Amino acid sequence: MKDYTKVGNLLNAREMEGSSVEAALSVSASSIRITDVTQDGDTLTFAITSQKLNISAGVCVFRTYEDFDWLQQSLFLQENVPGIQGIIFPPLPSKALPSQLNMQTKALKQLGFLALGQDWQSYCKAMEIYLQQVATHPTLCKCKALDSFLINLESPGKQRGKKGILNRLSQAVEEMRKESHKDVDDFFQNERRKNTNLATLSKVATEKLLDVVMTEQKLALACGHFSTSLHLCVNQDNAVAVAFSKVCLKLSDVIEAVKRNFEKVANNNLSTLGLGLDLESRYQEAEKEMLFRRTCKLIELETVKRNAEKAKPPKREVMEEIQKASEKEFNLISSVSKQEIERFHNSRVLVLRNFLIEWCEQQLNTAKECAELYSQHLEACRNLYSE
């Protein structure tokens, strides 16, 4: 499977020193790979390999999506980490259900590009990038759950907490009520506005490219049917029929070449630019969640201030202490948030540039191969008519 470690590294490069990151893990962050995936009913099991630090021994563990979800929840619940709510958490892809292969529309709506490709290859790449992003994050890499996830043979998924639908509905209602709250800091007010625009644009760009890829796949399928149908025209009854059959067979070869070109172009779009746009879209949503958490803390602080102002003398001292503690926490979250936003903006440009470069290189190579093949078919057609 392709090496996407540089993507995880770039997303955190500005605030990361390789030695300090790896010191927080018992494995090398750059060695983390998803090397295989197996399917058992609706369950996908990922084989995750990594290299132990300072020794040559490698580690291989098997994890399901529930284990990934446990890891993500463990990262969220690090209440002892100062300013944890200001972190832009690497976005975990949605759960894939193999049975959705029979419900393509639903699968595409949930996973987008990650639902395409053979043997869940694109999905595995996205999950691998997620692990590398967590492992190279200067704060999240210190979480003990990450080390446990990567080296313990026993699955940690049984320890995961469940999120009820009522909690999700309550959060959605709260978000609608608070997301329009004006910020006291112009930096964050502008960032929220830019994030809203970029989240919308990246989602639209992802959906448009997805339409292109699906159209290319449909054209490849149609070319395959056309190429096969041309073989039905083969007839050896007389000289005219034999000559016509030769033309049909040669045209079938040409259409088959067109089919393979559509397949390669679609696969290039999927594995490079498509994967990059999908990552960009999910990361914009992750930043939006971080900004929303900070807005909630801002509203909480403003409520505490109002209560302190209204408090009667016997309780005022206590309320003022609560206000100071809330201000300290909010200022720390804001400080962490600014660092995370700066890191995110610097790295996302590099990541998208790398995906674009790889996309251009692959499409150029495919175009050269296709042009050479078409030249061969053209020469064969000339020879056919010269006979």
Domain ranges of the chain: 1-162, 188-387
Mean pLDDT of the chain: 86
Identify the top-confidence range among 89-93, 175-179, 240-244. Answer: 89-93
pLDDT range class, residue 373, cuts 50, 70, 90: very high
What homologous superfamily does CATH list for 1-162?
Phox-like domain (3.30.1520.10)
Average pLDDT over residues 157-172: 50
Tens digit of each residue's pLDDT (9 = 90 or more) over 86-124: 999 999 999 987 665 545 666 677 788 888 877 788 999
Cα gap 364→361, rounded to integer Å:
5
Predicted pLDDT at 160: 53
Tens digit of each residue's pLDDT (9 = 90 or more) over 208-226: 999 999 999 999 999 999 9
pLDDT at 321 over 50: yes
**188-387: CATH, from 1.20.1270.60, 3.40.50.880, 2.60.40.730, 1.10.3720.10:** 1.20.1270.60
pLDDT at 14 over 50: no
